[in-house]
Amino acid sequence: MTGPGELERVRERVRARYAQAAVVVADGGVPTCADSCRGAEEIGTGAGLYSGAEQGEVPELAVAASLGCGNPLAVADLKDGETVLDLGSGGGIDVLLSARRVGPSGKAYGLDMTAEMLDLARANAAEAGAVNVEFLRGRIEDIPLPDSSVDVIISNCVINLSGNRGAVLSESYRVLRPGGRFGVSDILAEDHLTEAERARRGGTIGCIAGALSFAEYQDGLARVGFTGISITATHQVTNGMHSAIVRAVRP
């Protein structure tokens, strides 16, 4: 785990980077996940991971602001009436798509620490006419929701940006109801890579920042109480680093 001082520095760098991305989108530009990161078309990130039909369901700026490495809705299996929480919701694409799937009797929360992204997401929700969504400002290591309050947690390549992934997993377990599902896309490192080797493959605010290894992710989920854990690599984003779908259940 990153020390307190470094954790704050990492948070501020991440916040500043995604604030800039929100401004770029609002001005009609196309953001990138990090200055040092290759283009989305090369590593499989962003709007291209959503079908044309899905992109058509949400405002254009929600699509433009997508900087993830996967499509968590492809594995979330959302049901009518459920409550879903998106960790690091950015411009809101996954929240808005989730809201349509859980229906008027369900609820979709988005959690983000970046004011500019929250402004963009709320504007996108207003344009979409989504009434069953709520965007919260906060940190994914300290989720501002009560215990056992959501049915599903999703996230699109944000947990790897945290300097305290253990806290993120623990908080996820806390806010899930018994039987609740954890289904996220994230960046993971092959088990043989050292921390120094991982660091050389991405900065602290890049697409592959702070990645846990496959074994560390598995152990971290089990340590806080999750069961039914499965981790499936989907594509390599750079040598030894992969986008993956992670599933688990709170018993």
Which tens digit of pLDDT belongs to each residue from 122-141?
999 999 999 999 999 999 99
Using 70 as the pLDDT threshold, list the residues of the chain that sit under it.
Answer: 1-7, 10-11, 16, 18-19, 21-51, 59, 61-68, 202-210
Cα dist. 29→24, 26, 44, 166, 168 in Å?
A: 5, 7, 19, 35, 31
Name the pTM for this structure. 0.86
Decide the pairing of beta strands 133-137 and 150-156. Answer: unpaired
Residue-level pLDDT at 2: 55
Q: Is 23 helix (H, G, I), strand (E, B) or coil?
A: helix
Residue-level pLDDT at 190: 93
- Give dist(CA 230, CA 189) in Å, integer: 15
- Give dist(CA 121, CA 210) in Å, integer: 25
Read off the tokens for 208. 């592959």
Q: What's the domain count of the chain? A: 1
- Give dist(CA 142, CA 96) in Å, integer: 23
- Give dist(CA 225, CA 106) in Å, integer: 26
Domain containing 8 — which CATH number? 3.40.50.150
Domain of residue 129 covers 4-249
